[in-house]
Amino acid sequence: MSEALRPEDAPPSIYGPDGRPQFFSDPAMDRFVPVVLNLASELWVQAETIANLRALLEEKGIATTGQIDAIAEASASDPDREAALRAFIDRIFTPLREAPGVAA
């Protein structure tokens, strides 16, 4: 981690030998924290987008909640969606695949 990215008031003791923040005694746990943060970020963006699109569709009289849900159920086995799911999983779990001590 670059010295420039460290907050001025961050205690030096939270940084491991590789310069990355170290909060847990098990380095795997420190790599898991970004997984959770990535997932939370992705989830919030999607929730906001879905809520906005549903509201717009209903407001414009284009589709009801029931119609939207039926479309989602019918397209659950779409190969393109399966590929998008695999890409999503790869993005979320990338920090766990990094070798310990390797900066992202």
Check residue 54 and give its pLDDT: 94
More confident residue, 3 or 32: 32
Over residues 61-79, mean pLDDT: 90
Q: For residue 17, what are the CA distances in angstroms to 13, 20, 62, 104?
A: 10, 8, 57, 15
Predicted confidence at residue 103, as pLDDT, reads 53
- Residue 84: in which H helix or E strand, if any? helix 79-97
Per the prediction, the chain carries an average pLDDT of 85
| 94 pLDDT tier (thresholds 50, 70, 90) | confident
- Classify 26 as helix, strand or coil: coil
Can you give the pLDDT at residue 28? Answer: 84
Distance CA 22, CA 28 (A): 10
Q: Which pTM was predicted? A: 0.52
Of 104, 100, 99, whose CA–CA distance to 5 is shortest?
Answer: 104
CB atoms within 10 A of CB 60: 8
